[in-house]
Amino acid sequence: MSAPYTSALAEDLAPAVLARFERYVRIDTQSRRDRDRSPSTPGQLELGRLLVAELRQAGLERAELDHNGYVTATLAGNADGESAGLAIGLIAHLDTSPDAPGAGVAPIVHRSYDGGVIELPRGGTRLDPAAMPELEAKAGHDLMTASGDTLLGADDKAGVAEIMAAVAYLAAHPELPRPTLRIAFTPDEEIGEGATLFDIGRFGALCAYTIDGSELGELQDETFSAYEAVVTVDGVDVHPGQATGKMVNALRLMARVVAELPSTTLAPETTAEREGFIHPYELSATAGRAQLRAIIRDFDEDLLGEHARLLERTAHEVVDREPRARLEIEIRRQYRNMRQYLESAPSVVDAAEEAIRAEGLEPIRSPIRGGTDGSRLSEMGLPTPNIFTGGHEYHSVREWASLHDMAAAAATIVRLAEVWTRPERAAAAVMREPASR
Ligand SMILES: [Zn+2]
């Protein structure tokens, strides 16, 4: 039996969300690490061009794709009073993860999911509700999957489709009150570059929302704070036959550094919830030179700094015992926990909670063990929490999404527009000037 939608509005929006989603996931927009241009791959421009055409068709203004791959557009507001001059941003990312195959996505709709194991036609891929409690809860929903050998791309084309369906709906229903909505679709989020060339001054919104979360009702206003570390050891390489007393093996030294790092604590595989970690994720080494890349994460800035010092101390303790080896450690900031920025603009998160409740849902507040475009945008001056999309098992061939929940996300966006026209919201907002560089 088919499950009910969260609201009549969601049911209304569902066919448009589905049609758009099926169109967008077929375009390969997988991003590529170590990019030499923005966007890193041409497929993102292809999707960008399609979206610009569809935004114009829906009646939005200033719809454009810039040369870095950013799509922006405006839906003019129709509210009077304090919210008349207010602009609110809606953001999703165009690219998909480089961590699973992203070309040739062939989406499948599973109508009225029966709650059992889903066998996908390719690659022997199975979705087993016993191993996926969130899937088990979706019996009766219409589900989307890929065909078993690619990702689906709900991360974040679910968000793109939901924003597109919601703004097209609002454009066609001028009787529904709304502030001015600024839309942005960003490239290369999955390789950490989504915010890099985002022009928040030109965007001109007071705040924004990324539609890039997961489970129904989720609202995230907290992300990790993040460093990346590159540790390099230079040894002394000599022909092994003449190495006696001369060779200093950098590979051995680095292997010892890795072995000395904590692994039963402070590792992603042994921590959860609010605990941070040091995660060595790439090692390249010869006897002469070894390089280790690691990411360091915590919700707390002081603890993040402690983890960084622990890595430095460990490397020095191992390598300094060999005076002929040279050690270099580079640590750079990737992004900060968005919470500190959102706390100074509480109405931004409050409005999202009201919108989620207006859709009949209880907001789920959970910290993200990762970052979003919003982490860096919030730091740059555009407060940007994250809202659910209805997609799950991201970055894998098991990725799936509930069409029921995707429709609920689109409906939440329509309600969010109304919330921002309420006098008390608009009044809270005029306390702040729109973000600018
Ligand atoms: Zn995403």
Give the C-alpha separation, 416 to 435, whole Å: 19
Say if residue 428's pLDDT is above 80: no
In tens, the pLDDT along 35-51 reads 999 999 999 999 999 99
What is the distance in A from the centroid of ligand 1 to the CA of 286? 36
Q: What percent of the chain has pLDDT over 70?
A: 98
* Amino acid 436: pLDDT: 46
Query: Kind and range of the H or E element at 317?
Result: helix 301-319
Query: pLDDT tier at 437 (50, 70, 90 boundaries)?
Result: very low
What is the token pair recorded at 429? Answer: 């907002």
Give the C-alpha separation, 47 to 201, whole Å: 24
What is the distance in A from the centroid of ligand 1 to the CA of 273? 19
In tens, the pLDDT along 379-411 reads 999 999 999 999 999 999 999 999 999 999 999
Say if residue 434's pLDDT is above 90: no
Query: pLDDT tier at 430 (50, 70, 90 boundaries)?
Result: low
DSSP state of 142: -
Say if residue 57's pLDDT is above 60: yes
What are the residue numbers of the active site?
95, 189
Summarize the confidence of residues 145-155 as an average pLDDT. Answer: 98
What is the distance in A from the centroid of ligand 1 to the CA of 168? 22
* Amino acid 258: pLDDT: 98
What is the distance in A from the centroid of ligand 1 to the CA of 187? 11
What is the distance in A from the centroid of ligand 1 to the CA of 300? 23
Say if residue 216's pLDDT is above 90: yes
What is the distance in A from the centroid of ligand 1 to the CA of 97? 8
* Amino acid 143: pLDDT: 98
In tens, the pLDDT along 228-285 reads 999 999 999 999 999 999 999 999 999 999 999 999 999 999 999 999 999 999 999 9
Summarize the confidence of residues 286-314 as an average pLDDT. Answer: 97
Summarize the confidence of residues 59-83 as an average pLDDT. Answer: 93
* Amino acid 275: pLDDT: 96
Give SS3 for 364.
Answer: strand
Any idea which residue has 């022997």 for tokens? Answer: 124
What is the distance in A from the centroid of ligand 1 to the CA of 126? 23
Mean pLDDT across the chain: 95
Say if residue 292's pLDDT is above 50: yes
What is the distance in A from the centroid of ligand 1 to the CA of 190? 7
Q: Of 228, 195, 191, which Cα lies nearest the Cα of 373?
A: 195
What beta strand segments (E) does 367-430 contain?
386-387, 391-392, 400-402
What is the distance in A from the centroid of ligand 1 to the CA of 212? 5
* Amino acid 431: pLDDT: 56
Summarize the confidence of residues 195-217 as an average pLDDT. Answer: 96
* Amino acid 47: pLDDT: 98
What is the distance in A from the centroid of ligand 1 to the CA of 80? 35
Q: What percent of the chain has pLDDT over 90?
A: 92
Query: pLDDT tier at 105 (50, 70, 90 boundaries)?
Result: very high
The residues near 238 (Cβ < 8 Å, ≥ 6 apart) are 246, 247
Say if residue 433's pLDDT is above 70: no
Summarize the confidence of residues 190-206 as an average pLDDT. Answer: 94
* Amino acid 140: pLDDT: 97
